[in-house]
Amino acid sequence: MAIALKPKQPAKGNVLLSYVLEAFLLKAGQPIPISHTHYWESLQIAKTFLEMGYCVDVIRFDNDIFIPQKDYAFFIETRWNLQRSASYLNKDCIKIFHADTAHLLFHNAAEAKRLLDLQQRRGITLIPRRYELPNKAIEYADCATVLGNEFTLSTYKYAQKPLYPIPISSPLVYPCPRDKDFEVCRKHFLWFSSGGLVHKGLDLLLDVFLQIPDYHLTICGPVNKEEDFVQAFYKELYQTPNIHTVGWVNIDSDQFREIINSCIGLVYPSCSEGQSGAVVTCLHAGLIPIVSYESGVDVHDFGVILRECSIAEIKDAIIKISHLPIAQLRQMAIKAWEYARANHTRDRFAKVYKETIHQIQKNHSQKTTLAVSNPVFK
């Protein structure tokens, strides 16, 4: 299935986008889902090219039967279709890999290591939840737009292709946390994520909070969908006084607003991300981030970057944050909120993405001109 979109003005060419389709199939008046940023971002990518005067064909990233039948000025890829379709593309097509995860070889290896560490620590074997078949999109592309920080970029540098960082968007913003009661919530922390509980470090946090019973952890995520994890950690999840398992929560709900107002910070020791939408949502909420370098989000002077994600390192970071003076906690929370407002909104994504596409187009044109004038150019 391919969705064909046309610009308002006469078209000057075609673009092929391989991503998700849900936002393109909504009926009039239906809201774009906010459970993941890629629904809106895929729509915005298409809109960018429509505004530039291109027709846009959209296919799902896992469409394994679509064959390009026309010339394309751009092919935007997120997973596997580029390497499958490369031989059908016109030679002057600008091929862009839109990387919304770390390289999948790293991603898979990182989760496998977490599962192995858990096995050695607890004597249990759980199944991988975030495994994805690796692709060669970066190797077939001319360049890549990357959601992430220097960590994320580093997983693609082997291919020696130009990499353009793009800030992930956020579907919602929240009020400034200036008036929050930091004294009441200084020992309350949040783990907030989608699936892949070991991948996202929840097992580590359960072990940490068992050791610090005066500190509280609230868990928001699809815990009940991972039965083997629940079986292994049932006591910690449901029978430990300082651990509060809520489950999946809508970020636009009063329940979520109550939770973020009652917590001082987010603890997110994920082993691999592109750029974590969960972390960005919590920055918008003014939560002080204690996050892994591999979360793909930089926290500057308003949070803590976990370099090892060991139980000792996580525990020390939690205690350190909770003991800071009220004035400093307030300042860090406001800085987190300000950073999210300045860097991770839909308007910011749209602006940076459009500017990046124009830059890619300019760079590609210059490279082509140089190649024509210098036949030995490589």
Residue 59 pLDDT grade (very low, low, confident, very high; cuts 50, 70, 90): very high
d(CA 215, CA 241): 10
CA dist 157 to 24, 32, 143, Å? 32, 33, 11
Residue 107 belongs to some domain of the structure: no
Q: Which two tokens stand for residue 215?
A: 């500190």
- For the stretch 270-291, pLDDT in tens is 999 999 999 999 999 999 999 9
Query: Are 203 and 325 in the same domain?
Result: yes
d(CA 366, CA 362): 6
Query: Are 292 and 352 in the same domain?
Result: no
Could you write out the three-class secondary structure of 294-310? Answer: HHCCCCCCCCEEECCCC
Q: Side by side, which strands form the sheet with 188-192?
A: 243-245, 216-220, 188-192, 265-268, 288-292, 304-306
- For the stretch 16-42, pLDDT in tens is 999 999 999 999 889 999 999 999 999
- Structural domain count, the chain: 2
Residue 367 pLDDT grade (very low, low, confident, very high; cuts 50, 70, 90): confident
C-alpha atoms less than 13 angstroms from C-alpha of 342 in its C-beta half-sphere: 6
Residue 130 belongs to some domain of the structure: no
What domain range is 222 assigned to? 177-343
C-alpha atoms less than 13 angstroms from C-alpha of 120 in its C-beta half-sphere: 6
Query: Are 310 and 199 in the same domain?
Result: yes
**Cβ partners under 8 Å of residue 51, min gap 6:** 7, 354
Query: Are 279 and 146 in the same domain?
Result: no
**Cβ partners under 8 Å of residue 79, min gap 6:** 18, 61, 62, 132, 135, 137
Q: Assign residue 69 the CATH number of its domain.
A: 3.40.50
